């Protein structure tokens, strides 16, 4: 990457900055990173350079940077925080899987969850006037030091479950990487219900549903969106099951939370966002719950495409993420359609099949983004986890599978289309083809409604 920018560093003036060894010249400052180290070492003549950890010396940064990591929930939590800050009238930016946004304007499209370190600092400078910069931090970015030198005002952990084992090789290593983000004394907000969380207790705050936490629920209801009575205490008092301290005295402030979100996992996301907003703004809790009540949800995350029949699209692509979705609809007749990405962690595939078998009464297995793998082989690996094969329908063509699932769907059933969320493409081999689950669903349901209307008028 090459950025045109007037820079003075070590008493020298430069016209540009780059992290690409092929772009170095006397007018360009080179950024030495963990990613390009081997190429830098191989250069016969070393160019003038700056270490990635020192980029804050040549880039302007926003006032407060908030980093969110975890297996699931990063995007939704980041978006809730960002949109709520804007609702409160605070200038904010957001960077993650949805793209890069500054005060409601999309500056860049979707890319990596966390971009290269040089692009990250370029984004910081775009948002230098913002009071808050909310970003997702991937495990890859932590290992590859794509957040080198970033001084976070707040770090947040959503959860830690199995993912990206193709890269990290083991759950233990993946867990270690996630937890390494929290070894410093930076203010942090941790999911108290996450048993795999390990962190420096200095300046640590917690949120949770099942455990004692600074931000916790006194009661909650998930039947019609997420509704909860929540309490915040900035101390580290231990609470009983009813949220009261010894002697029955309540400590902290409480408020009612009513959102348009669905599912227990989204209650966790809302609690994380509320805790973050409290730590960042110090505003009354009831004003924060009111700001959050305006949040409409994230495209492709528990997005309702139809109410009758009920059809929902979600990005869940791990067995844990899928189980969180399924648990949001306990007591309902669940129909699920999903696949698994190719050239990615294969160990999770039978686990995805098993969790679908546990909750769904009909399962459509299809292709996701197979990449270089054979789609049928991926489906077969998922199917290994399905004990009751009588509930299994296999169709590797994702569009045909969607149309089949929609055609067979009854009014008393709910169809969950999982894995791709708001992706507008499908990667098959070396080709990236236009494909959007939501567009196919809308077109099918729209055509079905039109046919139904015409049939009624002709009868």
Q: Where are the domains of the chain?
A: 2-57, 64-293, 303-451
Strands (E), 165-264: 188-191, 204-208, 215-221, 227-232, 253-258
Q: What is residue 247's predicted lDDT score, i.e. its pLDDT?
A: 36
For the beta sheet containing 132-136, the strands, ordered from the edge strand earlier in sequence to the opposite edge, are 105-108, 99-102, 92-96, 132-136, 64-69, 154-157, 188-191, 204-208, 215-221, 227-232, 253-258
Phi and psi at 67, nearest 5°, equal -110, 130
360-398 pLDDT tens trace = 999 999 999 999 999 999 999 999 999 999 999 999 999
Looking at the DSSP assignment, which residues form a beta bridge with residue 256? 229
pTM of the model: 0.81
- The dihedral of CA 144, 321, 76, 158: what is its sign? negative
Burial 382-403 (b: 16+ CB within 10 A, else e): bbebbeeeebbeebbebbebbb
Q: What is residue 232's predicted lDDT score, i.e. its pLDDT?
A: 97
248-285 pLDDT tens trace = 344 689 999 999 898 899 999 999 999 999 999 999 99
Q: What is residue 165's predicted lDDT score, i.e. its pLDDT?
A: 56
Architecture per CATH, 303-451: Alpha-Beta Complex (3.90)
Band of pLDDT at residue 218, cut at 50, 70 and 90: very high
Q: What is the mean pLDDT of residues 71-91?
A: 95
Secondary structure of residue 27 in the 3-state scheme: coil
Q: How far is CA 333 from CA 327, 402, 415, in A?
A: 12, 17, 9
Largest interatomic CA distance in the chain: 85
Q: What is residue 364's predicted lDDT score, i.e. its pLDDT?
A: 98
CB atoms within 10 A of CB 6: 10
Strands 99-102 and 12-18: what pairing? unpaired
* Ramachandran assignment for 458, one of left (phi > 0), alpha (psi -120 to 50 degrees), beta (any other): alpha
411 exposure class (CB count in 10 Å sphere: 0-12, 13-18, 19+)? exposed
User: What average pLDDT does the structure give for the chain?
Assistant: 91
Do the beta carbons of residue 73 and residue 301 sit within 8 Å?
no
142-201 pLDDT tens trace = 999 999 999 999 999 999 985 555 666 688 999 999 999 999 999 999 999 999 999 999
Q: Helices (H) and strands (E) in the chain — how many of each?
A: 13, 23
* Residue 120 token pair: 């990250």
Q: What is residue 455's predicted lDDT score, i.e. its pLDDT?
A: 54
Band of pLDDT at residue 111, cut at 50, 70 and 90: confident
Band of pLDDT at residue 235, cut at 50, 70 and 90: confident
Closest to 106 measured CA to CA, from 96, 120, 119: 96
Architecture per CATH, 64-293: 3-Layer(aba) Sandwich (3.40)
Q: What is the mean pLDDT of residues 406-431?
A: 95
Q: What is the mean pLDDT of residues 40-66?
A: 96
Q: What is residue 91's predicted lDDT score, i.e. its pLDDT?
A: 98
All residues at 6 or more sequence positions from 210 whose CB lies less than 8 Å from its CB, including other chains:
193
Q: What is the mean pLDDT of residues 216-238?
A: 85
């Amino acid at each position: 990457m090459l950025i045109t920018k007037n820079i003075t560093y070590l008493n020298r003036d430069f016209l540009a900055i780059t992290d690409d060894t092929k772009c170095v010249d006397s007018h360009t400052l080179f950024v030495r990173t963990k990613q390009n180290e081997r190429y830098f070492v191989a250069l016969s003549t070393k160019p003038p350079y700056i270490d990635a950890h020192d980029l804050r010396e040549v880039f302007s940064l926003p006032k407060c940077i908030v980093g969110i990591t975890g297996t699931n929930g990063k995007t939704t939590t980041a978006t809730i925080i960002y949109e709520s800050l804007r609702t409160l009238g605070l200038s904010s930016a957001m960077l993650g899987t949805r793209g890069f946004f500054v005060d409601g304007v999309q500056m860049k499209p979707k890319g990596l969850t966390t971009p290269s370190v040089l692009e990250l600092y370029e984004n910081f400078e775009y948002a230098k006037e913002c009071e808050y910069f909310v970003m997702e931090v991937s495990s890859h970015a932590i290992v590859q030091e794509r957040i080198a030198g970033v001084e976070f005002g707040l770090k947040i952990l959503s959860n830690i479950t199995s993912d990206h084992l193709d890269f990290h090789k083991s759950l233990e290593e993946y867990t270690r990487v996630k937890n390494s983000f929290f070894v410093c004394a930076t203010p942090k907000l941790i999911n108290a219900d996450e048993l795999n969380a390990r962190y420096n207790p200095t300046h640590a705050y917690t949120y949770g549903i099942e455990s004692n936490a600074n931000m916790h629920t006194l009661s909650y209801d998930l039947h019609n969106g997420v509704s909860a009575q929540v309490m915040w205490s900035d101390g580290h008092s231990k609470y009983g099951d009813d949220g009261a301290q010894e002697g029955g005295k309540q400590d902290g402030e409480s408020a009612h939370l009513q959102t348009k979100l669905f599912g227990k996992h989204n209650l966790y996301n809302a609690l994380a966002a509320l805790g973050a907003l409290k730590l960042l703004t110090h505003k009354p809790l009831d004003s924060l719950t009111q700001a959050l009540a305006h949040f409409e949800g994230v495209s492709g995350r528990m997005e309702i495409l139809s109410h009758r029949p009920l059809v929902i699209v979600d990005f869940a692509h791990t067995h844990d993420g899928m189980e969180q979705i399924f648990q949001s609809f306990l007591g309902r007749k669940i129909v699920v359609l999903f696949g698994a990405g190719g050239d990615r962690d294969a160990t999770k595939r039978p686990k995805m099949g098993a969790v679908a078998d546990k909750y769904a009464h009909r399962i459509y297995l299809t292709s996701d983004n197979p990449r270089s793998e054979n789609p049928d082989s991926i489906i077969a690996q998922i199917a290994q986890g399905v004990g009751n094969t009588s509930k299994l329908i296999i169709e590797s063509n994702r569009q045909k599978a969607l149309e089949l699932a929609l055609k067979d769907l009854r009014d008393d059933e709910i169809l969950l289309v999982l894995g791709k969320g708001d992706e507008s493409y499908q990667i098959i081999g070396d080709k990236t083809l236009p494909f959007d689950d939501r567009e196919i669903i809308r077109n099918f349901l729209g055509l079905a409604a039109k046919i139904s209307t015409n049939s009624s008028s002709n009868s």
